[in-house]
Structure 1
């Protein structure tokens, strides 16, 4: 089976409208042969190039009949996966999702283990900012979102009300994971009251104890 046939067979099973990096076919053949096969598929219309090195199967809108544009966030995630990067929601967005702010990001921004850069998809731009390992803990989970929200609020902004609201958005197990993360002492202290409440509940319900790991 040729490189082109191998790639074509795999692409047929990929969802339409979902971006993927061409790098996923690295093992199908040499880089030149893979690039050539993908270029031919773009030329034939069976693939759409949505950004440098990122493609997707064309998808038509059931309402307008026009091609659906690639979601910029999905493109960013495809690039990150191909590069083996860890991606975490930005603190400003985490705070908004947790109901502690109504302010929307003007430019979608995410933390990454990779380099600081911008990914452009047509007129849309997604910004990636290099972040420390501390900010990338539990990336992609509610625990990670809670952690990054607290770091974003800072020592002065993490009030008792904010700490309680963040903690209450998590399950007992998730709060346990949050307390096990590395964090500044002021963050751990802000969570102490809520942790005690959970501890009391666990004693009455015979639930596992809440950890209190030190950073």
Structure 2
């Protein structure tokens, strides 16, 4: 009978380098306590790295910096997938995702229907903030980011260049999704979004 640690190690080796995983992914190999201890031992042996509490990764080597840690964005995506959360990025993160800001947000703020929590990854944090379901109704990948980005810029502060870029991006959105999402936005944002139609 193979030990929990050996089974987990084999399972990890089958995954591509850089893959993120959680203790729950190995529940079939033993009790939660046995899994936790096995992950601690594998971390000590440097087979895996602990990225944040309860989040691990198979290390990816970079010839320039040695072990490359997964980005906060990749970790946020993995948590969203695992917990089947509905989320929408806000603030600087939404602006950055749309290419409207080159500033790398130290704090990623995601509105969610899941439980609120904060996860520290090095100097950065991922902040899941509980919100009302109405804030998560937008369907379009681009349009939901646009609504949050414009809220961050603020009414009356949108430059011509930003508006032009936003309209350009919205033209790539699925028309049905865009029409649906426009109706959810505040009136001043609707005005800008309608220009994409």
TM-score by length of 2: 0.74
| Residue 47 (structure 1) aligns with | 48
Q: Does the CA-based 8 Å contact 1:143-1:175 persist in structure 2?
A: no
TM-score by length of 1: 0.69
Write the distance in 2 (CA, Å) between the matches of 1:86 and 1:100: 23
| Residue 113 (structure 1) aligns with | 113
Write the distance in 1 (CA, Å) between the matches of 2:106 and 2:51: 22
| Residue 78 (structure 1) aligns with | 78
| Residue 63 (structure 2) aligns with | 62
Q: 1:169 Cα shift?
A: 0.9
Write the distance in 1 (CA, Å) between the matches of 2:194 and 2:159: 12
SS at match of 2:132: coil
Structure exhibiting the larger radius of gyration computed from Cα positions: 1
How many residue pairs were aligned?
194
Q: Does the CA-based 8 Å contact 2:139-2:177 persist in structure 1?
A: no
RMSD of equivalent CA atoms: 3.3
More off after superposition, 146-155 vs 39-48: 146-155
The structure 2 residue matched to 1:191, chosen from 184, 188, 193, is 193
Q: Does the CA-based 8 Å contact 1:88-1:139 persist in structure 2?
A: no
Segments of structure 1 that go 5 or more residues without pairing to the other structure are: 196-215
1:44 to 1:87, Cα distance in 2 relative to 1, 3 A: same
| Residue 141 (structure 2) aligns with | 141
| Residue 125 (structure 2) aligns with | 125
SS at match of 1:183: coil
Which has the larger strand fraction?
Answer: 2
1:52 to 1:193, Cα distance in 2 relative to 1, 3 A: closer
Q: Does the CA-based 8 Å contact 2:89-2:108 persist in structure 1?
A: no
1:56 to 1:32, Cα distance in 2 relative to 1, 3 A: same
| Residue 176 (structure 1) aligns with | 176
Write the distance in 1 (CA, Å) between the matches of 2:61 and 2:195: 52
Segments of structure 2 that go 5 or more residues without pairing to the other structure are: none
Q: Does the CA-based 8 Å contact 1:109-1:129 persist in structure 2?
A: yes
Q: Does the CA-based 8 Å contact 1:54-1:78 persist in structure 2?
A: no
SS at match of 1:108: strand
1:148 to 1:159, Cα distance in 2 relative to 1, 3 A: same
1:164 to 1:152, Cα distance in 2 relative to 1, 3 A: same
1:92-115, Cα deviation, whole Å (9 max, x unpaired): 332344455566545333323323
1:161 to 1:84, Cα distance in 2 relative to 1, 3 A: same
1:137 to 1:167, Cα distance in 2 relative to 1, 3 A: farther
